[in-house]
Amino acid sequence: MAKSSVGSPTSAVWDEFRIPDEGNNKAQTTGHVSRGTASHSPPRSHTAHGNRDASHPPGAHSVFTRGLAAAAFSRQTSGQGLAAHTATSPGRVSGGVHTRDALLRRTGSVNGTYARTPVQAARSDDTSQPIAETKPISIKEFNELNSNYDTVDGYPRNSEANGEIAQKIEDGIGQEMTGYPPEVIQFQQRETRLHGMLADLPESERQFYAAAAAMLGTAYPLETGSDNRYEIGQQMTALEDAVRDETNRVRNDPVDRALSIFNPPMGIAWLNKEDRDNVDYLDKLRDDFLDATNADERDEIFEEASELKDGLQRSISAEVDRRRLKANAQWQEANGEVDRILSDARAQTDPAKRYELIGRQLYEGDPGQDTLKDKVVLAFTQRMQDSAELRDTLDTWHAQVSGPLNAHSVGAAKRYTDILRSLPPASGDYVRDLSDQYNAVLEDTSYKDYSITPAARSEKLAGQVLEGIARVLLGVTPLAPLADLLPSTLPAGIRMGLDYGSALLGTIAGEAPAILSDVGLAGKALATAAKDAEAANMASKDGAATGENLAQSAGRIADRTKAGPSAGRDAQAAGQAIGDKPAVDAGPSIDPTSQLAHQRAGDNPYGSLAAYADPDVHLADLHSGARPGILEDARGDRYVAMHGKAYHVRFDNQSDTWRVFMKGADLKPQYPVRLNEITRRWEINSEVGLTGGVWQKISDHTREEAIRLLKEGKLSRAKIAATLRISPNSVARFMNEEKIVPTAPGSLRTLKSTPTDKREILRLLEEGVLTQVEIAKRMGTSTGLVNRISKQNNFARRGKVPPAIRREVENLLREGTLTNAQIAAKTKISSRTVATIKKDMHFANFVRRREIAPEVRQEVIQRINDGLTYDRIAAATGVSKITVWRIAQQTKTFRGVARTSPEQIDRVFTLKDEGKTPQEVADAVGISVSKVRDIYGNVNADSYKRIWWDTTPEKRTAAIRQLDEGKNANQVAKDLGLRIETVRGIANQHRVARDSLASELLAEGRSPEEVAASLNISPKYVAKLTKGVPESTHEIRFTAKDRDAAMEMFEKGYSREDVAAKLGISPWKAHSLANEFRTNTMNSVTPQQLDDIARALSLRDYDFTTGDLARASELPETTVSVVEQEYARGLLVSRHSSPIAGTSSAMPVAEHYEWLPPLSAAQEIEAIRAMDEGLSLTAIAAQLKEPGAVIQQLYEDDLPLMMLRDDPPDAPPAQPPAPQTRVLSMQDEAEVQKIVQRTGLRRSFVTSLFFA
């Protein structure tokens, strides 16, 4: 791509941002530094925070630090020069810390507090390796990466895939919003197209535009006036144009196009749990990529990210298709009901009864609770909209009823077709309000006015805006369940977008209608509440813990603001907080990661800043303003002077910086600038975005807790930040200042590598199960180290298999004597690549290929003993995960502490007592560092068993009693002679589960006395729990919408704990919902299907995937996955049926299977109480007269959340493919017949099972 001279790093405008070089006094630009030098100026004196003015905000880097930044990001800076200036840098970026931190890692602190200790004074006990020499990236390399991994038929694959997903979702919106106003549907379709474009943009822009779109998307459906809707539509058009321009720029910008590979894909909310975790991994790969030391390492990481992104997009596309098929069936049923209603009406000869019959059939006593009834009402409305013939028929029927009434001077009945002329606002209550209008026709009364208080209305609107933001960023349609917890804080980009959206609504021509004013105020209040919450978190105050609390805070702010001065001091303070009218020219900020990546490649982001200069303004016509360096014109507009030209600026309160913006192009990205105190020139402010837009002193308590967690080394910096609800960059700053060597599992800092580490890496490479990036992640090292070991041992790169090796793999696969992992080890490629080649060969799945060879069975057993997860074992051996589980059950082989003997455990604790580090212990014992930490936290040093529940039932009960009395865990452990970890495990098990249940019972309206009696705990203890229970009913706190979201998550494979955390509900409520999901799913399986699947799973010597069973049983994979889980839990029990008279004696007595449903709520209460009292599970089963397996399952479900547990069998959801007709060979025919005779399976099921 050709680049104009004005956009080059050496252009006149870019020279304005030069930094003087101390060594030769020659000016060096930040975009172009001479080879072998690293330019910097002497450090300036640091002023106190209280004396800083707005022109140089707190946290800014010194000129010395900026010189290092220039060296780090220059494409011509040598690694030697860089290392010389970064000796005090603590290491490479944590996997979870934002890429901004990764880019600044070698230039000092991310918040400008670069370690002031001279290089010579660096701590001598820092055991980290020197930073490897970095080979800077270039524009050419970015172009090659895009060409090699993101180009298909000349088009960017990633961007095209996002657009195709958006188109699929858009195509389904018309059906999803059946019965809604047509213009609302069209607006939502436009917003969905916008979602697809946003997926390509840098993060800060994506956040800004998403928030602005959410504001417009909230206001449009609520506004019923056509003129105002037209104005909102015009604003949406401007937003679409701006986003489209930015999307096209990204597609043509090699740097931003490459970085977009690491963005979340369009529609991430459609993914299952496993894939959602992979979305988080994409962000980690971006950090790895920008922190890589050479082109080969970057190539490996980019290839990994590209393949991962492609897989995620394919999964989303398949899920959209699956949901579309499911929705088709639901709407077909609803339309069938409409046909029946109209047919019944036509058959009725009495005009009055006929007209009334329609209303009776559409009547809903409690709209929103019955999905089918809701869809029937919507389908009938849609039928009226689409069919002129139906409208004429309904009007004719109305006339037939009204004529006789008018003749007797009685008012005519209301028309059904009049509903189309006054459809209610398309809010969350649309179905309820629409049903009320049909009821009004039936009852001839006005529908109920669901009015709420102004405070509740403000909170509701704030919640709608917050949900709208989440839906835009997650790619969720307006009516689909939102199975994600609403955010409790909002980054600066979103807050700026809310302000902008509020300003847009304020520009609607004419008298601003109440609803638009309220939505605008709600958005502004939400931004203010989010900023306050973040500041409170940093100061260790009580901030908003959930999205619901954030919406409540915004509602209070908005309500007090509207109340005016008469409401008192609180209202005035709230009004002052958000009273300033947001600037309509406050567009998005340049993304800091993108900006620095461009600088590193020697390129200027977003084109030349020269285009932002106002040609109609002359510096001679301006005068000095109130702030240093700021110029003003006669109207009070503010400017800065750069290279003899005037640039419009505005001060951004969110990020505490000045921004250059283009007049008349409100939505163009804006450059943050600041006045250099030494040169007195304006320069780009590279520090914006580091702290989320809030500069707030972090409390000593929060700082100390962060330092403690860093030294403990169990959590990554990102997880520490999430725990303390502060910026990850603040955590990184503490680490820098305290010179803490990062040892958390997610850290990419390469500790001093040992021969043991290298041997383990080589073993994993030879095993062929993991990719190089995955090996680096598992070992807590850099991808570069793994890459070097791979090259030294001549391992082929994944995805780049030479033709000769590919042919060898294909021949080995045809022979069928080796597993995937064995083939991978023999050919030195990844087993995943073997699996891909195998898939490309389109093997016929003959019966004999499904038999499990003895050597495969033995390999599975060995890997289980090694402690590998079932997922990894399945990938390595080529069998399904349920087969791995069956082999484990058959051979009684279970995962434990992987390959650690009692002697090794003894030595681990001995070395720990001697003060050895985890790395030193791992080297001495010959195990991994992660295994050492696992033993520290989870193994009893005396019994060598997992610590939870490693005591008697009597002591468990006594521990619970003492905890209820208010004793802390240390006191209980001392009194009962238990380890502290055991007491904590007990508290985390039954006590937490029981307390959760007690809270649910209280929320349902039961008295503390009733709850105490039912659970056999003291009323005094229950009284403590009441403090956390709101004064409301269970139904108000948990709505049908929440229930739908929970069911959606269970279907995607989320656990009870995930559902509880994401929806903000109690663990016990999540448990009851999981039981409901299991029950509904299992009830959808016929007895024959259940028998077929269970019998197939009982076949010892065959391997079946979830897809195989789904195809044979004609059930969705999600349903089969649940059946597999219930089978694995021991909840499918066999019953021998009696022989049928006259059947052949050669046929076996068939086994029929029954599913054991979960206990009722009352039974679970009784069981939990019995467990608390120390009864054995067998005794509890006898007491309740229930199967022992059900009690055992309740007990296992109640295990501590941190207990290491095996992966439940799962599979990506998909519809079963259509059955195919195949001709069996004689060998296959004989095998099928043998299986039918031995198991009683139907022949059609067996043939469908074996042949794909």
HEC assignment per residue over 664-728 = CCCCCCEEEEEECCCCCCEEECCCCCCCCCCCCCCCHHHHHHHHHHHHHCCCCHHHHHHHHCCCH
Residues 464 and 570 in one domain: yes
Q: Which of 747-756, 1196-1205, 1219-1228 has the lowest mean pLDDT?
A: 1196-1205
- Specify if 222 maps to a domain: yes
Give the pLDDT confidence score for residue 1051 in this predicted structure.
84
pLDDT(1175) > 90:
no
Between 157-176 and 295-347, two packed helices, what is the crossing angle to 10 degrees? 20
* Most confident region among 478-492, 580-594, 632-646, 1123-1137 by mean pLDDT: 632-646
From 532, 556, 578, the end of a domain falls on: 578
- For residue 510, what pLDDT band results from cuts at 50, 70 and 90? very low
Chain-centroid distance, C-alpha 840? 31
List of residues 6+ apart from 1203 with CB closer than 8 A? 946, 948
Q: Where are the beta strands (DSSP E) in 473-626?
A: 623-624
Q: Using an 8 Å Cβ cutoff, are 465 and 526 in contact?
A: yes
The enclosing H or E element of 28 equals strand 27-29
Q: What's the token pair of residue 231?
A: 């104005």
- Match 């009823």 to its residue by tokens: 401
Burial (CB count within 10 angstroms: exposed 0-12, middle 13-18, buried 19+), residue 1149: exposed
Residues 759 and 854 in one domain: yes
pLDDT (mean) for 954-974: 79
Give the C-alpha separation, 211 to 469, whole Å.
5
- For residue 96, what pLDDT band results from cuts at 50, 70 and 90? very low
pLDDT digits (tens, 9 = 90+) for 711-722: 765 565 656 776
Nearest residue to 361 (alpha-carbon basis) of 379, 346, 376: 376
Q: Using an 8 Å Cβ cutoff, are 305 and 350 in contact?
A: no
pLDDT digits (tens, 9 = 90+) for 1072-1095: 888 889 999 999 999 888 988 888
Give the C-alpha separation, 136 to 141, whole Å.
10
- Match 């999307």 to its residue by tokens: 247
- Specify if 359 maps to a domain: yes
- For residue 41, what pLDDT band results from cuts at 50, 70 and 90? very low
pLDDT (mean) for 970-994: 74
Give the pLDDT confidence score for residue 563 in this predicted structure.
53
The enclosing H or E element of 994 equals helix 992-1003
Give the pLDDT confidence score for residue 167 in this predicted structure.
92
- What does the mean pLDDT of the chain come to? 69
Q: Using an 8 Å Cβ cutoff, are 597 and 212 in contact?
A: no
pLDDT (mean) for 728-743: 67
Q: What's the token pair of residue 787?
A: 């890459």
Residues 727 and 796 in one domain: no
Question: Angle 1105-1107-1109 (CA atoms, 0-180°, nearest 5)?
Answer: 75
Chain-centroid distance, C-alpha 1226? 51
pLDDT (mean) for 494-504: 66
pLDDT(799) > 60:
no
Cα separations (Å) of 421 from 181, 224, 416?
10, 11, 10
Give the pLDDT confidence score for residue 824 in this predicted structure.
79
List of residues 6+ apart from 327 with CB closer than 8 A? 172, 175, 176
Classify 32 as helix, strand or coil.
strand
Query: Percentage of residues in the chain with pLDDT exceeding 90?
Result: 5
DSSP letters for 1005-1062: T--HHHHHHHHT--HHHHHHHGGGS-SS-HHHHS-HHHHHHHHHHHHTT--HHHHHHH
Q: What's the token pair of residue 858?
A: 């033995």
pLDDT(304) > 70:
yes
Give the pLDDT confidence score for residue 687 in this predicted structure.
59
Q: What's the token pair of residue 873?
A: 């074992």
In this structure, how many other beta carbons lie within 10 angstroms of the beta carbon of residue 958? Answer: 18
pLDDT (mean) for 1019-1032: 65
- Specify if 1072 maps to a domain: no
Query: Percentage of residues in the chain with pLDDT exceeding 70?
Result: 58
Residues 303 and 384 in one domain: no
- For residue 228, what pLDDT band results from cuts at 50, 70 and 90? confident
1082 vs 94: which has the higher pLDDT? 1082
Q: Using an 8 Å Cβ cutoff, are 394 and 348 in contact?
A: no
Nearest residue to 262 (alpha-carbon basis) of 202, 195, 197, 192: 202
Residues 707 and 759 in one domain: no
Q: Which of 78-82, 103-107, 132-136, 522-526 has the lowest mean pLDDT?
A: 78-82
Question: Angle 16-17-23 (CA atoms, 0-180°, nearest 5)?
Answer: 110
What is the DSSP secondary structure assignment for residue 1135, as one 8-state letter? E
Give the pLDDT confidence score for residue 690 in this predicted structure.
38
Helices (H), 1175-1223: 1177-1184, 1188-1197
pLDDT(964) > 90:
no
List of residues 6+ apart from 655 with CB closer than 8 A? 492, 589, 672, 688, 689, 693
- Specify if 227 maps to a domain: yes
Q: Which of 642-646, 777-781, 1143-1147 has the lowest mean pLDDT?
A: 1143-1147
Pair type for strands 623-624 and 638-642: unpaired
From 856, 891, 926, the end of a domain falls on: 891
Give the pLDDT confidence score for residue 640 in this predicted structure.
92
- Match 């046909």 to its residue by tokens: 339
pLDDT digits (tens, 9 = 90+) for 331-373: 888 899 899 989 988 888 888 888 888 888 887 666 666 778 8
From 578, 602, 622, the end of a domain falls on: 578
Residues 499 and 356 in one domain: no
Residues 292 and 186 in one domain: yes
Helices (H), 199-350: 203-222, 226-252, 254-260, 273-291, 295-347
Residues 814 and 907 in one domain: no
Specify the amino acid at residue 216: L
Residues 920 and 851 in one domain: no
- Specify if 1173 maps to a domain: no
Give the pLDDT confidence score for residue 160 in this predicted structure.
92
Q: 927 is in which domain, residue-wise?
A: 902-938
pTM of the model: 0.61
Residues 509 and 415 in one domain: no
Give the C-alpha separation, 947 to 978, whole Å.
10
Domain count of the chain?
5
- Specify if 708 maps to a domain: yes
1240 vs 846: which has the higher pLDDT? 1240
Residues 261 and 305 in one domain: yes
Please measure the distance between the N-terminal and C-terminal CA atoms of the chain and give it in whole angstroms: 47
Residues 513 and 372 in one domain: no
172 vs 587: which has the higher pLDDT? 172
| Main-chain phi, psi angles of 404, to 5 degrees | -60, -35
Q: Which of 156-170, 442-456, 770-784, 1024-1038 has the lowest mean pLDDT?
A: 442-456
Burial (CB count within 10 angstroms: exposed 0-12, middle 13-18, buried 19+), residue 180: buried
* Total residues found in the chain within this entry: 1252
Give the pLDDT confidence score for residue 339 in this predicted structure.
92
* Most confident region among 453-457, 469-473, 678-682 by mean pLDDT: 678-682
